Amino acid sequence: MKSMLHTGASLLLKVGYDDGTSKTIGYARNFTATVSQGQKQTFVVDSPLPAEIPQGAAPQFVKGGLTVYLPKGTTPESLGLVSYRIDTDGSYIATQSKYLSFQVFDRATLNLVFACEFCKVGTYTVSVPARGIVQIDLQFDGLQMTPGLTL
């Protein structure tokens, strides 16, 4: 019987770039997403309890992270996940990061698990374990989240 649960080992990452192109990067794992709904407690004088929790009174955003297995012959910069920091002659350049869109799919069913538009990678870590697979841990901030499809 086929499992009805999404597993972390069966996720695919597809990245959309701001020029309209998109590319399937590869396998992803350790996916997390924290969505702030924009709610903020409103208090009144002489009451320890909030009077209300209005929607839209605080910023709405998405923070997340995921680990991507790095395909051979690629770098985080060549995949367009992060901006270049060193020019071809080796000098440091300051570049502006670009917006990305992330789509995470279940590779067995190709169902969309998560999508986030207007993302920027804030920090990343490249890990090269002995006898392991090279991987990139990405931490991103985004503006709009699209929930995945139901099975």
Per-run averaged pLDDT (10 residues), the chain, 151 residues = 62 88 87 83 89 80 88 84 70 71 85 87 88 89 74 40
Give me the CATH number covering residue 88. Answer: 2.30.110
Q: Helix, strand or coil for residue 85?
A: coil
pLDDT at 5: 61
Range of the domain at 87: 8-36+61-147
Looking at residue 150, its pLDDT comes to: 47
CA dist 137 and 126 (Å) reads 6
* 46 within some domain: no
Q: Is residue 42, in this structure, part of any structural domain at all?
A: no
- When divided into structural domains, the chain yields a total of 1
What does the alpha-carbon distance between residue 10 and residue 4 come to, in Å, rounded to a whole number?
A: 13
Mean pLDDT value across the chain: 81
Is there a domain that residue 2 lies in?
no
User: Does residue 30 fall inside a structural domain?
Assistant: yes
Per the CB < 8 A criterion, the answer to whether 93 and 86 are in contact is yes
pLDDT score for 88: 66
pLDDT of 9 reads 60
β-pair type (144-147, 11-17):
unpaired
Vertex 73 angle, CA 67 and 79, to 5°: 55
Asked whether residue 50 is assigned to any structural domain, the reply reads no
